[in-house]
Chain A
Amino acid sequence: MSSEAHAVHDTTTGISNNKLLMWAFLGSECLLFGGLISAYLVNRSRFHTGPAPGDIFDIPFTSVSSFVLLMSSLTMVLALSAIQRGDVRNNRIWLLATALLGSLFIGGQVYEFTTFLREGLGYTTSPFSSAFFTLTGFHGVHVSVGIVMLMSLVISSYRGTLTKKNSETVEIVGLYWHFVDVVWIFIFTVIYLVPSPTS
């Protein structure tokens, strides 16, 4: 995070390369998650002898953790807004808050997974279970990578290298973070809220 961000007018479109890179990446990620979600949907009623999705989902619990993730998008955008104003301190606080909410979400996921495991839904129980854990696991990994990036920003903020000048870096991490949130909005509705088959 050291390079002097080149002035934006360098590029033909006037858009920064980095931001475009992130958007291209997110466009690509749509097909990744789409594939995983489809793999889940075609398998959701193939639960073999194991628990069915409708039997095992704990909607109230997941609603809370979804809400947590949703709110982390707010803190993220507030962090960006702060750094764009040059408010390094608030930026740092909001970044930390975002990372914290993200971790809370991951904690919730770990809890959910262990509960499922106890109730007899292991990774290898059925096509449904494999698809469920793979999809939510991929999402969880994305969130975790996001947390690592947020923490790197926090560290560089403490070292004083995160300033208004490179607010774009915060913006880009933010884009990634919001995307991961948006994916969860999809997953939460389609996988949890839409009634699932029961055994």
Chain B
Amino acid sequence: MSESVAELNPNGAATQPLGAYSRPKGGGGWRDWVTTVDHKKIGILYGATALFFFVVGGFEALLIRLQLATPNGTVVGADLYNQIYTMHGITMVFMVIMPLAAAFANYLLPLQIGARDVAFPRFNALSFWIFLAGGLFLNFSWLVGDAPDGGWFAYSPNTGVTFSPGHGMDFYAIGLQIVGIASLISAMNLIITVLNMRAPGMTLFKMPVFTWMILVVQFLLLFAVPVITVALFLLVFDRNFGSHFFNPEMGADPLLWQHLFWIFGHPEVYILILPSFGIVSEVIPTFSRKPIFGYEFMVFSGIAIGFMGWGVWAHHMFVSGIGPISVGAFTLSTMFIAVPTGVKILNWMATMWGGKLRFNSAMLFATGVVSMFTVGGLSGVTHALSPVDTQQTDTYYIVAHFHYVIFGGALLGFFAGFYFWWPKVFGHKLGETLGKWNFWTMLVGFNLAFGPMHILGLNGMSRRIDTYSPGFGFDFWNLFATIGVFVVTLGVMFFVINVILSARRARGLPPEPPDPWDARSLEWFSPNPTPVHNFDEVIEVSSLDEFWHRKWTTDEDGRVVRKATAAEVCQAGDAEGVHLPSPSYWPVVLAAGLPLIGLGLLYNLWICVPGTLLVLVSTYAWVFEPPDDPDGPFGHGHDEGDDGSHDEDVPGDGSPAGQEAGSVE
């Protein structure tokens, strides 16, 4: 048992199999985590990192709220405040919500399609390490006292060298560039995994809704990331090489930045929400004991949201002066996004209708999403109406909107996911009592914190102000909101305590028996926690909710009756010698080079040299490293299961061929 597992879960001592690590494998220790190419471990790494950054971003949020608790606040000065709120936005969006989605996607997506790993396991590790490198690079700016301070959407020309002469915006541009590479790699990887690694019989329309939503998100990333890549390149060139893309003095139009940013930025907000929609679509059916209502509608509305998300970006620019015709067109396109989203909300409610609802913590969080996201969605529709938005934009009403959709939609959804899949990942459930405390404090606190922001915004409080004067009617609700955040913090604490206590309680006990929730999808075929090779044998899929259909059937009267117990249906997880991809050092080495190159651009080009060397050497080594180490513990071997021919057919046996693409690129 490795130390790093213990780190993740301080009290889950060595006796309790944890996470991906149910069977002892050679090596051990931190090296396993650094060199792993196992999608489950990578998922856990993503999750742990995201939670760490959540505390960082949350701490920044606390500072914001303390500063604004009273008029003429003096907790931080204007300069620091601007850095804090900017980093808060960046951290929460790029280093909390996106990696949380990556965590769930990495861990679950291969399992849900019955695969052994993702299509390109080393690329997968690479994207995690690059993401981490980018996140650390961005936060390194705090250490040099020069964090980005131009807001998360960094409107030019305020972010050019003239008006932001420090290095803050360089950290922003280069840091997000690095994080973007990670997203792009992982997007390609997951798309190909879904398309190419499905278990036999699993057609696209037999995939769980979660898998679908992740697929849509990866397509959004695939096409949206290059757009912000362009924007960030132009910004870096402007700042460091003297180009004039955003320099009005030379005749450039600063609105170019806004277009590029929001062409990325709007699809980005659906990138933030759709994974959570996917999770909710798994949790609600399970705890209602009913299939998802209108599966095809759910899938198509997700796809529709993905598509429509590309045609609405200028609703962030209603007051930029882009002309009434453009404004009108974007008003209309934005309004109609409410339609596919409404379908989702109502279908979730219809799923609950007639069910037998078990209010476990996961279900509570999922239904929390249904109601809280709606609040945010509705305020979204009010600012879709451009004339109304001219009063709302850049006020706390917007801040309220996006925290309702992001916290109330995305984050609560991820918490539902935590409670739902914790036994799958760590072999034991999270405690229900604390879970309910967790839910209610978070729900109440979140409404206390962000509900009043609607009122503040309508009262005319602008966002991104480091302080306000008394006499504008802002005092009361600001204090109120600040108190609310402390309730949220309490909620987060309950979660942390729950994680620790549950692990401690589970110590020495056998892992959670299969199928703790009477679930429906493929990941529950394997025992808890998931064995390193995922599945003993290939699952032949013949219907949506395959797992459920193996357990239950309907009798002549149409009543649902059990045909097999979960224990009978589940696999034992004891197959041996399964062909798995081997760990590699190169992803982490390559990733380490990127922030060095970034720092070199900022401070001294010589620092670029070791960075570039790291990248080149590891690329070279990567290309010539056999993806399978014949001597390694994960190396060649053959499935000794009843049907020996399986080995070749196992979809997603981490097809090492995949990695050759690394060699050509």
A contacts B: CB pair < 8 Å: yes
Interface residues of B in 242-271 (CB under 8 A from A): 242-245, 247, 250-253, 256, 260
Kindly report which residue of chain A lies nearest to residue B625, judged by CB atoms: A2
Asked if A3 contacts B656 (CB within 8 A), the reply is yes
With A17-B119, A130-B243 already in contact, the answer to whether A3 and B198 are too (CB < 8 A) is no
Residue A68, interface by CB 8 Å: no
What CA separation (Å) do A38 and B225 show in the bound complex?
A: 16
The proximity string for A residues 45-76 relative to B, scoring 1 for CB distances below 8 Å and 0 otherwise, is 01010000000000000000000000000000
With A11-B197, A46-B251 already in contact, the answer to whether A169 and B664 are too (CB < 8 A) is yes
Kindly report which residue of chain B lies nearest to residue A172, judged by CB atoms: B664
Residue A108, interface by CB 8 Å: no
Asked if A18 contacts B250 (CB within 8 A), the reply is no
Residue B58, interface by CB 8 Å: no
Asked if B658 contacts A31 (CB within 8 A), the reply is no
Residue B184, interface by CB 8 Å: yes
Interface residues of A in 11-36 (CB under 8 A from B): 11-13, 15-18, 20-22, 24-25, 27-29, 31-32, 35-36
In the assembled complex, which residues on chain B have CB atoms less than 8 Å from the CB atom of A46? 250-253
B252's contact among A16, A36, A43, A173, by CB below 8 Å, is which? Answer: A43
Residue A81, interface by CB 8 Å: no
Asked if A20 contacts B192 (CB within 8 A), the reply is yes
Asked if A35 contacts B245 (CB within 8 A), the reply is no
With A18-B661, A124-B244 already in contact, the answer to whether A24 and B192 are too (CB < 8 A) is yes
Kindly report which residue of chain B lies nearest to residue A31, judged by CB atoms: B226
Chain A contact residues: over half helix, strand or loop, or mixed?
helix
Interface residues of B in 2-49 (CB under 8 A from A): none
With A24-B188, A126-B244, A169-B660 already in contact, the answer to whether A2 and B624 are too (CB < 8 A) is yes
B150 to chain A, nearest CB (A): 20
Asked if B661 contacts A12 (CB within 8 A), the reply is no
Asked if A134 contacts B252 (CB within 8 A), the reply is no
In the assembled complex, which residues on chain A have CB atoms less than 8 Å from the CB atom of B241? 123-124
Asked if A35 contacts B231 (CB within 8 A), the reply is yes
Asked if A172 contacts B196 (CB within 8 A), the reply is no
Asked if A130 contacts B651 (CB within 8 A), the reply is no
Kindly report which residue of chain B lies nearest to residue A6, judged by CB atoms: B657
With A17-B655, A172-B664 already in contact, the answer to whether A48 and B226 are too (CB < 8 A) is no
Asked if A126 contacts B195 (CB within 8 A), the reply is no
B660's contact among A1, A25, A42, by CB below 8 Å, is which? Answer: A1
Asked if A127 contacts B245 (CB within 8 A), the reply is yes
What CA separation (Å) do A27 and B195 show in the bound complex?
A: 16
How many residues of chain A get a CB closer than 8 Å to chain B's CBs? Answer: 47
What CA separation (Å) do A42 and B251 show in the bound complex?
A: 11
Asked if B250 contacts A42 (CB within 8 A), the reply is no
B626's contact among A3, A36, A48, A133, by CB below 8 Å, is which? Answer: A3
Contact-residue bracket for chain B:
35 or more
The proximity string for B residues 215-245 relative to A, scoring 1 for CB distances below 8 Å and 0 otherwise, is 0000000111111011101100110011111
A28's contact among B225, B260, B627, B663, by CB below 8 Å, is which? Answer: B225
Chain B contact residues: over half helix, strand or loop, or mixed?
helix
Asked if A169 contacts B663 (CB within 8 A), the reply is yes
Residue A149, interface by CB 8 Å: yes
Asked if B198 contacts A12 (CB within 8 A), the reply is yes
What CA separation (Å) do A130 and B243 show in the bound complex?
A: 5
Residue A5, interface by CB 8 Å: yes
In the assembled complex, which residues on chain A have CB atoms less than 8 Å from the CB atom of B396? none
Asked if B245 contacts A39 (CB within 8 A), the reply is yes
B245's contact among A43, A48, A173, by CB below 8 Å, is which? Answer: A43
Residue B120, interface by CB 8 Å: yes
In the assembled complex, which residues on chain A have CB atoms less than 8 Å from the CB atom of B659? 3
In the assembled complex, which residues on chain B have CB atoms less than 8 Å from the CB atom of A22? 661, 664
In the assembled complex, which residues on chain B have CB atoms less than 8 Å from the CB atom of A31? 223-224, 226-227
Asked if A126 contacts B251 (CB within 8 A), the reply is yes
Asked if A5 contacts B660 (CB within 8 A), the reply is yes
Asked if A42 contacts B651 (CB within 8 A), the reply is no
A179 to chain B, nearest CB (A): 13
What CA separation (Å) do A25 and B222 show in the bound complex?
A: 8
Residue B623, interface by CB 8 Å: yes
Residue B191, interface by CB 8 Å: yes
In the assembled complex, which residues on chain A have CB atoms less than 8 Å from the CB atom of B233? 134
In the assembled complex, which residues on chain B have CB atoms less than 8 Å from the CB atom of A13? 195-196
Kindly report which residue of chain A lies nearest to residue B263, judged by CB atoms: A35
In the assembled complex, which residues on chain A have CB atoms less than 8 Å from the CB atom of B238? 130
In the assembled complex, which residues on chain B have CB atoms less than 8 Å from the CB atom of A42? 253, 256
Asked if B260 contacts A12 (CB within 8 A), the reply is no
What CA separation (Å) do A180 and B244 show in the bound complex?
A: 26
In the assembled complex, which residues on chain A have CB atoms less than 8 Å from the CB atom of B251? 46, 48, 126-127
A124's contact among B195, B242, B256, by CB below 8 Å, is which? Answer: B242
B39 to chain A, nearest CB (A): 15
In the assembled complex, which residues on chain A have CB atoms less than 8 Å from the CB atom of B119? 17, 21
B220 to chain A, nearest CB (A): 11
With A21-B192, A24-B188, A28-B223 already in contact, the answer to whether A3 and B242 are too (CB < 8 A) is no
Asked if A29 contacts B226 (CB within 8 A), the reply is yes
A192 to chain B, nearest CB (A): 21
In the assembled complex, which residues on chain A have CB atoms less than 8 Å from the CB atom of B260? 35, 39
What CA separation (Å) do A172 and B262 show in the bound complex?
A: 33
In the assembled complex, which residues on chain A have CB atoms less than 8 Å from the CB atom of B649? 10
B-side residues, CB < 8 A to A, are 119-120, 184, 187-188, 191-192, 195-198, 202, 222-227, 229-231, 233-234, 237-238, 241-245, 247, 250-253, 256, 260, 623-624, 626-628, 648-649, 651, 653, 655-661, 663-665
Q: Rank and list the top 10 A-B pairs by shortest CB-CB distance, nearest first.
A: A130-B243, A35-B230, A6-B657, A11-B196, A32-B226, A124-B242, A18-B661, A127-B252, A46-B251, A31-B226
A-side residues, CB < 8 A to B, are 1-7, 10-13, 15-18, 20-22, 24-25, 27-29, 31-32, 35-36, 39, 42-43, 46, 48, 123-124, 126-127, 130-131, 133-134, 149, 152, 166, 169, 172-173, 176
27 contacts between A and B (CB under 8 A): A3-B628, A5-B660, A7-B648, A10-B655, A12-B195, A13-B195, A21-B188, A21-B658, A25-B188, A27-B222, A28-B222, A31-B226, A31-B227, A32-B227, A43-B256, A46-B251, A48-B251, A126-B244, A126-B250, A127-B250, A127-B252, A134-B234, A134-B243, A134-B245, A149-B665, A166-B660, A169-B660
Known: A10-B649, A17-B119, A130-B245. 5 other contacts (CB 8 A): A28-B188, A31-B226, A35-B226, A127-B244, A134-B237
